[in-house]
Amino acid sequence: MNDILEFWYDFASTYSYPAAMRVEREATAAGLRVEWKPFLLGPIFQRQLGTHDSPFNLNPVRGRYMWRDVERLCAADGIPFRRPSVMPRNSVLAARVGLIGIDEGWIAPYSRALFTANFAEDRDIGEAAVVADVLDGIGLPGGELVARATSADERPRLRKQTEHAEKLGLFGAPSFIRRGELFFGGDRLAQALAWRG
């Protein structure tokens, strides 16, 4: 257990994008293995805050800063960024596919590709065709996986994952858990990696 970093993220979350692009590289350098944990922020915001929209949309002053901040973070990390025309995008299907990716071992490249589609290519990751195309692009059977992810068998898993996130005390994304300790925000990655409990 001690060599694991849990990385909790929502595919619609702006700050999750740069975190997803560097978490594995930095965790590996620190001798840790990343457990990728896609979940949904929407139901958590709804239960904790009673709101349906992103906090960045609810406070436009904060939203304006967030876009600038994410742009700066991406520039500093050398990753492409194009402000999505819609925020937040529906990340339900993306997360459901992600849960299959955990089982099958392709969650990391899939997550990076899907984040890139949303935040560097302004593609609507809420659309099944886009998710399927991203999967095809990394050599996976997109159509088949999207169909499986939306099947009656698979659907309850994401709700359970999100409930689990809430039990862990999560209230935003990205978040990291290291030896039972919660860290919120991409800027806490180094602290989480160094955490000795």
List of residues contacting its own copies (CB under 8 A): 48-49, 58-59, 61-62, 64-65, 68-69, 72, 76, 166, 169-172, 182-185, 187-188, 191
CA distance 20 to 116: 10
Q: 175: which residues sit within 8 A by CB, 6+ positions away?
A: 8, 9, 182, 183, 184, 185
CB of 45 to its own copies, least distance (A): 9
CA distance 63 to 56: 4
CB of 170 to its own copies, least distance (A): 8
Q: Smaller CB distance to its own copies: residue 25 or 65?
A: 65
CB of 68 to its own copies, least distance (A): 8
CB of 81 to its own copies, least distance (A): 16
Q: Smaller CB distance to its own copies: residue 148 or 188?
A: 188
CA distance 94 to 41: 13
Instruction: Please classify residue 152 by burial: count the beta carbons closer than 10 Å to its beta carbon, then call 0-12 exposed, 13-18 middle and 19+ buried.
Output: exposed
Q: Smaller CB distance to its own copies: residue 49 or 86?
A: 49
Q: Are 40 and 91 in contact (CB under 8 A)?
A: yes
| 50 phi, psi to nearest 5 deg | 70, 20
Q: Smaller CB distance to its own copies: residue 122 or 181?
A: 181
Strand segments (E) across 120-187: 175-178, 181-184
CB of 18 to its own copies, least distance (A): 13
Q: Smaller CB distance to its own copies: residue 121 or 187?
A: 187
